[in-house]
A and B are shown apart, each in its own frame.
Chain A
Amino acid sequence: MLDVARLKRVVPYAVVATGAGYLYQVAANIQYQARAGVLGPDFWPKAILALTIVVCGYKIAAALAPGRRGEAAGVLEHLIEESAAQRGGTGATAAGESHLWLLLGGMALSAGYVWAITRLGFFTATVPYLAAFIALGGYRRWGVVAAVSVIGTVLLLFFFMKVVYVSLPLGQEPFLQVTLLLMKIMGIR
């Protein structure tokens, strides 16, 4: 009987293997003018994908097979574990409590920021993003949050546009006017 834990262990490998299978199909359909005796541009990606599928297959089989197997770990992992065990001290950092909603919130916030930056412009999108991220992380000194968000954004805008000459997104109307005004104040052309 397969238990849930085993099936859970299989999931990442099944996902990778499925993705690799799909990409193998894509690679098999790469269009090119074949030359006699020369490997095509599909050879290398297909070889990598085939190896990926083989390793995933091995992991899935190992996870589903009865009995518990030890696994070959990297040399560094062994060194860290052995040394920590010998010294009876700290190995790597201990895993803490998991806050899944915080994580999903951070990911959604970051994706939303990337979506907004071209529409609102760098300044108008970055100030609320920084403030929201810091607040999401649990920091509640609002004066500091506001100062850090506004001053930091202005400094980044100045540095990247005036010193490094990176053309940051200006945004669309009416937010474009905010960016242009700030640029004018900072002497950025």
Chain B
Amino acid sequence: MEGVLTQLAAGFVSVFSPLNFAALTVGLVIGLLIAVLPGLTLVMGVVLALPFTYKMDVTSAVILLTAMYVSGTYAGAWTSILFRVPGEPIDVPLLWDGYTMARKGRAAQALGWTLLAALFGGLVAASAMVLLSQPIAKVALTLSTPEYFAIIFFGLASVVSLGGASLANALISLFIGLLLATVGVDDTYGAHRFTFDVPILADGIDYLIVMVGAYGLGEVFTRLERGFRSAPLESVGAARTRLPRLKEALALKGTFVRSSLLGLLIGIVPGAGATVASFLSYGAEAQYGRRRSQLGDGIAEGIVAPQAAATSSVGGAMIPLMTMGIPGSGATAIILGAFLLHGLQPGPQVFQTSSHIVYAVFASVFLAVIGMCVIGYFAVRAMVRVLEFPEVIVSAYVVMLCILGAFAARNNITDVWLLVVFGILGYAAERWRFPVPPLVLGAILGPLAESTFMTTMISFDNDWTVFFTRPVAGTVMLLSLAALLLPVVRQLRHKRRIVA
């Protein structure tokens, strides 16, 4: 424990170095602006920022992206509360009580509760991330390939189970993502797979191209089809923040703690993320909250629950990334990309070989949480004004940054053509209700899934039952199957209810 605190203290010192601190500040401001800007989502923002980090030091690069990730879960609340414009699904639950509270003339109080919830949830999750990471990394060192495969399978199963209007569509999306990851020269045999004599395809399809195309360009195409028509803004008064009194905050301690822990746990599950955390936490408040019957009437619990959970999910999502190298969300996948671009593979070994970087990143999460709240408190009025910026101009630059990001990855125009293809694929997925997250997570985790599966098959004489007979792997596989069956069970129950 003492060692952890010493390393964390060194991490804080590192973050306060001029370059890292500048990266943190820039990341926070851009993250907050992105969450407010029309047409930009948290993941898109982090994707688009990646090319700007190519020449940065790994610590500064990861600090910048992490700061954007943290602050991106917060500022969307402002537009939900003030203008009834949820930047992305994370912020939808904030409409129900946040906007309602604002319409009753208490917008400043609603923003105050949001700030306090983000601060509390963020700090709880950051503390848990620091305390849990090293023990988890130690356990991860003892795991073998069947366990790793089972964990990856769990991540893929949860993203399928969570998203989309159709389980079958989510599965198809996932399979396309996994297939994209097989393009290139195979590691074991050196065989060319789906390269079609295109030289650059021998190096495979970079998952960042898939992400930038599907999330960035695909989203712009979807908005273009709608003619960039945003709903008219319904302002509910001047944007300023009034923090609740200590007594008022203490009265909600149960909500703060429950939501933060729930967000942390959901963040740890690969495939889940801030949106799931936000909705589930609101749902938990509706089930167990003291004033559950008043939810929706503009009470503080309805603001604290989703916001605390959304921000705390960031700390949770950083745990599997740093300890096992498994990104559980779109944003952590890009952070993984930043690590890999700088030649560093997150995982249990990184705690021994590059612990100074790990703890600098951890320290930056604490400072990012505090920093975003400080900036949010003083600058909310100025920042929400960017909502008036024409969406089409923002989108034009999003396309430019997508193209430049794809080109800069390997300085090859074929990657830009691939980007356009994935942009169209992303649009088509949205149009025909195939969820994009399983496709992207499939492309990201595909190589790891295949290599752990193939290594297991080689080590255990093609005996696939090892995934079920080894205690840890078996438990995780059963959880995965349960996750996959959950939507089916819910559907059957729903049917039965209708019949009854």
Contacts and interface: CB of A to CB of B under 8 A. Distances in A.
B309 to A, nearest CB: 13
B458 interface: yes
Contacts of A169: 407, 413
A138 B227 CA distance: 8
A30 B192 contact: yes
B72 to A, nearest CB: 18
A2 interface: no
A90 B86 contact: yes
A41 B175 contact: no
A7 interface: no
A102 interface: yes
A110 B163 contact: no
Contacts of A70: 491, 494-495
A59 B169 CA distance: 9
A77 B92 CA distance: 13
Contact of A137 (B169, B280, B392): B392
B224 A102 contact: yes
Given A26-B194, A41-B193, A91-B92, A52 B225 contact: no
Interface string A77-93: 11110011011111111
Interface in B164-198: 164-172, 175-176, 178-179, 182, 186, 188-194
Contact of B450 (A23, A44, A152): A44
Contact of A98 (B93, B190, B226): B226
Interface in A31-59: 31-33, 37-45, 48-49, 51-52, 55-56, 58-59
Given A30-B192, A48-B175, A110-B399, A137 B224 contact: yes
A42 B225 CA distance: 39
B168 A45 contact: no
B192 A130 contact: no
A98 B225 contact: yes
A181 B417 CA distance: 28
Contacts of B220: 106
A74 B164 contact: yes
A72 B166 contact: yes
Contact of A75 (B95, B162, B178): B162
Name the prevailing secondary structure of the B interface residues.
Answer: helix
A156 interface: yes
B491 A71 contact: yes
A44 B283 contact: no
Contacts of B373: none
A143 to B, nearest CB: 13
A178 to B, nearest CB: 18
A134 interface: yes
Given A55-B168, A103-B224, A139-B393, A41 B189 contact: yes
A83 B283 contact: yes
Contact of A164 (B55, B162, B403): B55
A111 interface: yes
Nearest to B183: A45
A136 B432 CA distance: 24
Contact of A134 (B93, B169, B396, B458): B396
A106 B182 contact: no
A150 interface: no
B435 interface: yes
A72 B191 contact: no
Contact of B221 (A13, A41, A92, A103): A103
A52 B164 contact: no
B200 interface: no
Interface in A95-131: 95-100, 102-103, 106-107, 110-111, 113-114, 117-118, 126, 130
A92 B462 contact: no
B104 interface: no
Contacts of B411: 166-167
A84 B89 CA distance: 12
B457 interface: yes
Interface in B232-279: 275-276, 279
Residue among A80, A103, A111 with max Cβ neighbours from chain B (10 Å): A103
A176 B498 CA distance: 68
Contacts of B113: none
Nearest to B169: A59
Contacts of B390: 139
Nearest to B190: A32
B163 A77 contact: yes
Residue among A27, A77, A160 with max Cβ neighbours from chain B (10 Å): A77
Contact of B392 (A48, A90, A134): A134
A15 B399 CA distance: 28
Contacts of B86: 90, 93
Interface stretch (B134-142, B323-331, B482-490): B482-490
B184 to A, nearest CB: 10
Given A79-B280, A164-B52, A52 B487 contact: no
Contacts of A137: 224, 227-228, 391-392, 395-396
A48 B162 CA distance: 20
Contacts of A79: 276, 279-280, 283
B489 to A, nearest CB: 9
A159 to B, nearest CB: 8
Nearest to A94: B231
B168 A58 contact: yes
B376 interface: no
A166 B179 contact: no
B54 A164 contact: yes
B350 interface: no
10 contacts: A40-B189, A45-B179, A52-B175, A52-B176, A71-B166, A102-B224, A130-B400, A152-B400, A163-B55, A169-B407
Interface of A: 12-13, 16, 23, 26-27, 30-33, 37-45, 48-49, 51-52, 55-56, 58-59, 70-80, 83-84, 86-93, 95-100, 102-103, 106-107, 110-111, 113-114, 117-118, 126, 130, 133-134, 136-139, 144, 148, 152, 156, 159-160, 163-169
Given A45-B182, A73-B165, A95-B226, 6 more contacts: A30-B193, A75-B486, A113-B403, A139-B390, A164-B52, A166-B51
Name the 3 nearest CB pairs between A and B, nearest first.
A137-B392, A41-B186, A32-B191
